[in-house]
Amino acid sequence: MPSGKSSPGSVRVNDDVGNTSVTVRVQAYGGKFVGNKMNPALTVNIVGGGTPVLNQPIPSPSTGTVTQPFHVSAARDTIVVQPPSQKAGEWWVIPDPAPGQLTVSFDLEAPSLVEFTATAGPQSVTGMASMFLIPGLQLTGVDPGLVITLHGLAVFTPVWKPATPGTVAISAEVTMMCGCPITPLPPPPGVEAYWPDNEFLVFAQYWGDDGTAGQAGMTCGANSTYAGTITGLTPGNTYNFFVVALQHAEMNVGASGAITFRA
């Protein structure tokens, strides 16, 4: 194998022919790069043998910058904003200077299929990309790097409190998988409105030990904060609910864990 031979950018073959490096970013489908709020982590598996790199946290203080038109460093998954938002159209995400990536290095004894698995968010959503790599290949220094896409929406643990007899008020934080806000329309001053609430459907699914079951709609009253009311409950009975979030146009879905309460 030729020693130190370079190709455009920083893709090159290393003198240390066994050592291979790849720069990885994680992006929310329909959103930006996954930020620290989502605790992104990466696992690398070398199919057929080799030493894996396990559970490496990805430092992501920045989720990137949204821009038009296309820039060469942009991730290839775009943000598509629907009318009537004032930002309707297709937008691109480019990395900020702040670290938002992880460069992983590992030894390969032979050309190998390598699996990169990213996990993030309150429900530990997982995405995977696989590449066939050769020993000594350095895929670093070229933005955006290998981008792993995470589908879904992040739904954080909901809360509840009694309202009137037989009625419970519920609320939950719902965001894109990058941690970026869903905004009511019109958006608050200074808030990026790439994910207006008219693109989303959020509701609570509930059921009780008395055999009742149903859904309660939730609305976005502030950035990423959805609230609603479950009615028709029997005081003293035990009920459960979880919050579901849908972004139909992007086929993004999220759900919280179940919460148990007494009416």
**Following DSSP, what letter does each residue of 218-253 receive, concatenated?**
EEEEETTEEEEEE-SPPTT-EEEEEEEEEEGGGTEE
Is residue 262 a contact partner of residue 196, using CB atoms and an 8 Å limit?
Answer: no
The confidence band for 17, taking pLDDT boundaries of 50, 70 and 90, is low
CATH code for the domain of 215: 2.60.40.10
Please tell me whether the peptide bond between 84 and the residue prior to it is cis, using omega within 30 degrees of 0: yes
The confidence band for 185, taking pLDDT boundaries of 50, 70 and 90, is confident
The confidence band for 250, taking pLDDT boundaries of 50, 70 and 90, is very high
pLDDT, tens digit, 9 for 90 and up, residues 192-212: 789 999 999 999 999 999 899
Looking at the domain assignment, is residue 2 inside a domain? no
Looking at the domain assignment, is residue 223 inside a domain? yes
Average pLDDT of the segment spanning 119-146:
94
Burial per residue of 71-82, b for 16 or more beta-carbon CB atoms within 10 angstroms, e otherwise: eeebbebbbebe
Residues 139 and 161 in one domain: no
Residue 4, pLDDT > 90, answer: no
**What does the alpha-carbon distance between residue 218 and residue 206 come to, in Å, rounded to a whole number?**
13
Burial per residue of 36-55, b for 16 or more beta-carbon CB atoms within 10 angstroms, e otherwise: bbbbbbbbbbbeeebeebee
**What does the alpha-carbon distance between residue 83 and residue 89 come to, in Å, rounded to a whole number?**
8
Q: Domain containing 72: what range?
A: 11-150
Looking at the domain assignment, is residue 5 inside a domain? no
Residues 176 and 203 in one domain: yes
Is residue 228 a contact partner of residue 58, using CB atoms and an 8 Å limit?
Answer: no
**What does the alpha-carbon distance between residue 174 and residue 226 come to, in Å, rounded to a whole number?**
7
Average pLDDT of the segment spanning 46-70:
84
What does pLDDT average to over the chain?
Answer: 89
List strand residue ranges (DSSP E) for 47-111, in order: 53-57, 65-67, 79-81, 89-94, 102-107
Average pLDDT of the segment spanning 19-34:
94
Out of 3-7, 50-54, 238-242, pick the least confident.
3-7
Residues 43 and 141 in one domain: yes
Residues 15 and 101 in one domain: yes
Residue 188, pLDDT > 80, answer: no
Chosen domain end from 150, 179, 197: 150
Rg of the chain, C-alpha, whole Å: 22
Average pLDDT of the segment spanning 51-61:
80
Looking at the domain assignment, is residue 3 inside a domain? no
Give the pTM.
0.88
Residues 27 and 137 in one domain: yes
